[in-house]
Structure formats: structure tokens, C-alpha cells
Amino acid sequence: MPRRDRPYSSLERLAYRYVPGLLRSSRALHFWKAEATALGLVVKPKWMHEGEKRARAFLKRSISDPALRRKLTPKYRMGCKRVLLSDTYYRALSQHHVELVTTRVERMTHDGIVTADGKTRKVDVIVYPSGFRPFDQSDKITIRGRDGRLLSEEWQDGPQAFRGVAVTGFPNYFLIMGPNSGLGHNSILFMIECQVRYIRDCLSWLDSGKTDAVQVRPDVQNDFTRRLDDAHRRTVWKNKHKQDGCSSWYVHSSGRNTAIWPGFCIVLLALHAPGEPAGLPPRSAPRACRPAPDAAPSCRLKRAVRTRPRVTRLGRNWAAMLRNWLTSGFGC
């Protein structure tokens, strides 16, 4: 898809500087346009066909060679793999000294590459991308939790964390951009801001001296992971797309999508909205990370304590209704 980057004009910069609310309104417009893209990604994947039409039109305008266009046309639903936004990608591939080879590599020789069709191509340099593990660095750093458990062993079947932030069995251990923090439609900075605010508030409660450790209860994390997996089944990233040639780095070898948040950004925001979380003890206990009945120093990370002034009961009720409506409607 075209990126459509351009420099802002002098008039636009002056308007953003001196017109009250214009810059904030422009940013809000960009946010909601991006948020609307999630309708096709996480609600009705077939709605992505409009984007596919625009992508094919851009490909046709950029590449004149029909054979090259066929090689560059995906055979899976748009969004299943990372959507590339670039104004120069097709231009680079259409140069006379560039060849796009999609045939499987059979072997490498001392001075070239042999593909499955028997052709040998002489090369000077081979760049060999071996893949990576998104949102999981447990194999790079030794992290131990309660009873000596290792995070790398806990995550053998794929990383999982409550809201991408907290891991059961690892008290006072918080993640930023943890499992299922990635987005296919909006800015990761929004996710980071939500997670930082959540961590900050939990640390504020720790600092108050009410407890010396905070961790998510196993049943809470398991329920959250189950709901994530259920939500993924109706998204554009659902596992059956592997049969259509769409195997991406979003999906762990276990078959679970451990990279992408299967919902709207506003759902995550609603999860942290002021209001009494359902199914928790009375308000006499701290609102956020209440001690779990089966593990005194542990806490159920349900919502972080706010250091801002207490909202009104009407505000709490409204936020709770918003959160319940969003989470019940979109499964997260």
C-alpha cells in the first residue's frame, strides 16, 4: 500500500501552531481512521477486500510487467501478514538489474544459490533472515520467578501474559510490549502508554506499603489467554489461513497467535477505565491489585490504582458500562 508521506506545508504548520485544537483534532482523526481498519481485521475479515482492491490498483500502476505483478500479488486475505506501506518498494523491484525469485531455494554453493527449478544464480553476498521471536526475549535473559521457575520454560508453548504486562509466578515483574501487544492497524505507542500507566499505578500501590509483591493469579491469566485465543479465531489471523499460504511471524510454532492484540485499541483503554471491576471483593480492599485469597502476597492484577482524584459514582458507573459493552462485544 502507498505510504503517502509528504512534508507539511508552511501554511499547515502555522495552522497547527496557532489554531486552538487543530493539531489535537488532526491526531484524533488519524487515530479513529486507523481504529476503523480493525473492523476488517478483527470483526469481519471479508471487509478487507476494499483494501485489497486499492492494493492491486497501486500494484498495477507501479508494475507494468504482468509476470512480475503475478509474483507480487498475495493469495491470502489482506492483513494476514504485515501490510507493507511503501512508495518505493515496487519501484526498486522493477529496476532492470533486479530479479524477483519466488522459487524455493534448494541449496547454496560456494559462489551462488540453486533453486528448486535447477537454476543457479551467482551471488556475492547472501542475506539470510533466520526469523525472530516477537515480544519474547526469555531465551536471551535468564528470568526466575517463584520456586525457581524459569520464564523460558514457562513460555515453551508460546509466551503469554495478563494484558501483555504481568506473568503469573513472577511477582513484581512487569513487561512493556509483552505477548499480544502488537497491532495490525494502529500505533504501538498507544499500547505502550496504556501499559506504562498500568505498571506505574501498580508500582504506586506497592510503594504505599500495602504489600511487598504483586503478581497475577494463574486463573486470571489463564482466563485472559483463553479469551484472547477465542477472539483470534474470528480475525484475519486465524490459523486456517496457513492452508492458504499465510504463515506469518505473528503465530507461534504451537499454533497460538502470541504477537497481535485481537481487538480495538479502545477496548484496551476501556479495560483500564475507572470503575469497579466485576467479581472482586468489596471496595474496602485496594481497587487494583487485591491480595489473592489463595496467596496472601500475590495480587489479582485487575486494574491499577489511580493516583488522580476519585471520580464520581456516575463516572465510575459510566466507565464500567463502557468497559463491559466493549469487552462483551469484541471478546477481549
CA distance 316 to 274: 6
Which residue has cell 510487467? 65
Q: For residue 143, what is its C-alpha cell?
A: 528470568
Q: For residue 42, what is its C-alpha cell?
A: 478483527
The pLDDT of residue 245 is 58
Q: Which residues contact 165 (CB under 8 A, 6 or more apart)?
A: 174, 175, 176, 178, 195, 198, 199, 301
Q: Mean of the pLDDT values across residues 1-29?
A: 92
| Torsion sign (Cα): 104, 106, 108, 111 | negative
Q: Of the ranges 41-45, 73-77, 278-282, which one carries the lowest mean pLDDT score?
A: 278-282
CA distance 116 to 216: 50
Q: Are strands 105-108 and 295-301 parallel, antiparallel or unpaired?
A: unpaired
pLDDT tens digits for range 93-105: 999 999 999 999 9
Q: Is the predicted pLDDT of residue 119 greater than 60, yes or no? A: yes
CB 277 within 8 A of CB 299: no
Higher pLDDT, 137 or 198: 198
pTM, 2 dp = 0.74
SS3 173: coil
CB 191 within 8 A of CB 179: no
- How many residues are there in the chain? 332
**Which helix (H) or strand (E) segment is 164 a member of?**
none
Edge-to-edge strand list for the sheet holding 120-122:
105-108, 112-115, 120-122
| Torsion sign (Cα): 293, 138, 83, 190 | positive
pLDDT tens digits for range 126-162: 888 766 677 677 777 888 998 899 998 899 888 999 9
CB 299 within 8 A of CB 289: yes
Q: What is the DSSP string of 311-326?
A: PPHHHHHHHHHHHHHH
Rg (CA), the chain: 24
The pLDDT of residue 300 is 44
The pLDDT of residue 269 is 82
The pLDDT of residue 276 is 31
